[in-house]
Amino acid sequence: MFKKIVFSVLTAVCMMTIPVSAADISSLDRTCHGYGQGREVDECNRPYGALTFNDEFGCYDCRAILDNDKRICLTFDQGYENGYTGSILNTLKEKNVKAVFFLTGDYAERNEKLVRRMIDEGHIIGNHGMKHASLPSVSIEEAENEIMSLHEFVKEKYGCEMQYFRPPCGEYSEQSMAICQKLGYKTMLWSFAYQDWDVNAQPDPDEAFERISSAAHGGEICLLHSVSAVNAEILPRVIDSFREQGFELGLPDE
């Protein structure tokens, strides 16, 4: 209980965002970190890695877990289309669930019908980088272009102004987080993910379902890849399991 209270207080304090100037950003640490929620969890099944990330970077409008002990937010990374997004959208519609879809530039350009369906059905479109570049590895100007070129494309083509950014490859630095904040973005990582992206090594459906459902926790940001045949297959069971465990499914800021 003590750890839970400490993390809650620290996260609440850090989530008071502190805008930074261009001069401030140039002086911030550019060390590249690879995010992972880790295996250690608290008594509420929340990964310490996600809680620590919120504590360290919440002041830059970044979060890896939501401050809501009842909600789970489903998110999907859309690097390329593999034929399963339609099925995923069908399931979400049938189950009355809204999700966040993080698009790369290539996906947004090539898959107009699916993107328009996401928007029309009430899902959030997120920014996953125009070229899926690792922001800590590029200059401030290049990082801003990576984000805003896709932002402007989606705004012009789809009439949608994105507000959430997911760092490509889960790679970030203090400076890259501040750049996103400066551009008006909230950075969203995750508190659950598993190895689902390799289309040539898909996990066993029952094992995947057990892994996802057993990791459920309040405030969860659940990362799934839409290229996965297994994810599309087990998604109805996953949603039912979350609800049976007492969680609601919804968008991050509802």
Question: Which entry of 55, 61, 77, 196 is annotated as an active-site residue?
Answer: 77
Question: Which residue intervals of 58-203 are DSSP H helices?
Answer: 85-95, 105-110, 112-120, 140-158, 174-182
Catalytic residue among 33, 123, 151, 225: 225
| Cβ–Cβ under 8 Å, residues 74 and 85 | no
Note if 151 is an active site residue.
no
Q: Is 225 a catalytic residue?
A: yes
CA distance to 43, 70, 215, per residue, from 40 (Å): 10, 20, 11
Distance CA 107, CA 126 (A): 12
Long-range contacts of residues 198-201, Cβ cutoff 8 Å, at least 24 apart: 199/82, 199/227, 199/228, 199/229
Q: Show which residues are catalytic.
A: 77, 225
